[in-house]
Chain A
Amino acid sequence: SQQGEEDPQALSIQEGENATMNCSYKTSINNLQWYRQNSGRGLVHLILIRSNEREKHSGRLRVTLDTSKKSSSLLITASRAADTASYFCATDANDYKLSFGAGTTVTVRA
C-alpha cells in the first residue's frame, strides 16, 4: 500500500509554538501533498512537494521530503488558534489517485 502514515496521531501546543508532524510511506512516489481539514469540513490543499525536491516553504509552513527514508515532515511555525485542525499527508504515485494517511490532529491552545 502507498498509504502515508502520520505521526503523532495528536498534538497539543501553545499558541506561538511550532508544530511538527511526520509522514511515512511505503513505495515510490511522484509527489507528496499535505492537506488540512477543519472538523467535519472539506480538505484544503496546503503544499505539494515533488519527489526531486527536498524542502519547500509556504508562509509559515515548511515541508521536507526524504525519499531515501520514505518520509516527510510538516512544520507549522508560530502556531495560531486558527491552525487547530487535522493534517493529512497524501502520496501520489502517478497512478491517478492519492493515498491518504490517518492524519494528525493539532490543537493550538490560546
Chain B
Amino acid sequence: EPEVTQTPSHQVTQMGQEVILRCVPISNHLYFYWYRQILGQKVEFLVSFYNNEISEKSEIFDDQFSVERPDGSNFTLKIRSTKLEDSAMYFCASSVGQGIGYTFGSGTRLTVV
C-alpha cells in the first residue's frame, strides 16, 4: 500500500537554528498538508498546499514557517529560527482530492533545546 514517507523520524536542534522537515507524498496525490501535535495535545492543522501554492494556513503558520515542493516528489516544511515551543511531532499528509481520505506519514519528532 502506498505510504507517505517522512524524514528524519527524530530531529534535535538548538533554539534559533533552521530546520527542514521532509516528506514524500503519495505520487498521484494532489493535496499536501502539514500538521503538528505538541506532546499530549491535539493534532493541529498548519498548512495545506495545492497546485504549487498554499491553499490555507493556520494562525500557527507564521512568517517563521514556509513550505516548498522543490521537485515532483518532495514536500518540505522549513522553520527558520526554531523556538522551544516548536517542539512537537510534525505530520505530513497527502490526499488525492478534497475530502477523499488522507494518508499521514509516521511523523518527525522535533525537539528544540
The complex places the Cα of A44 from the Cα of B104 at a distance, in Å, of: 7
Most buried by B among A30, A31, A43, A101: A43
> Do residues B42 and A96 form an inter-chain contact, with CB atoms below 8 A?
no
CB distance from A29 to the nearest CB of B (A): 9
> Do residues A48 and B101 form an inter-chain contact, with CB atoms below 8 A?
yes
> Do residues B106 and A42 form an inter-chain contact, with CB atoms below 8 A?
yes
Most buried by B among A41, A42, A44, A97: A97
Produce 1/0 per residue, B24-68, CB < 8 A to A: 000000010101000001111100101000011010000000000
Whose C-beta in chain B lies nearest to the C-beta of A29? B99
> Do residues B48 and A96 form an inter-chain contact, with CB atoms below 8 A?
yes
- The answer to whether the Cβ of B91 comes within 8 Å of any Cβ in the partner chain is yes
Total interface residues on B, CB under 8 Å, equals 25
Residues in B with CB closer than 8 Å to A88 are 43
Residues in B with CB closer than 8 Å to A96 are 31, 33, 48, 50, 55-56, 98
Residues in B with CB closer than 8 Å to A102 are 41-42
> Do residues A95 and B42 form an inter-chain contact, with CB atoms below 8 A?
no
Given the known A-B contacts A41-B107, A43-B91, A43-B104, are A100 and B42 also in contact in the complex, defined by CB atoms under 8 Å? Answer: yes
- The answer to whether the Cβ of B13 comes within 8 Å of any Cβ in the partner chain is no
> Do residues A42 and B43 form an inter-chain contact, with CB atoms below 8 A?
no
Residues in B with CB closer than 8 Å to A95 are 56
CB distance from B4 to the nearest CB of A (A): 9
Residues in A with CB closer than 8 Å to B41 are 102
Given the known A-B contacts A95-B56, A96-B55, are A103 and B102 also in contact in the complex, defined by CB atoms under 8 Å? Answer: no
Residues from 53 to 108 in B contacting A, C-beta threshold 8 Å: 55-56, 58, 89, 91, 98-99, 101-107
In the complex, given contacts A40-B109, A95-B56, A98-B45, what are 7 additional A-B residue pairs having Cβ atoms less than 8 angstroms apart? A88-B43, A90-B43, A94-B98, A94-B99, A98-B35, A100-B35, A102-B41
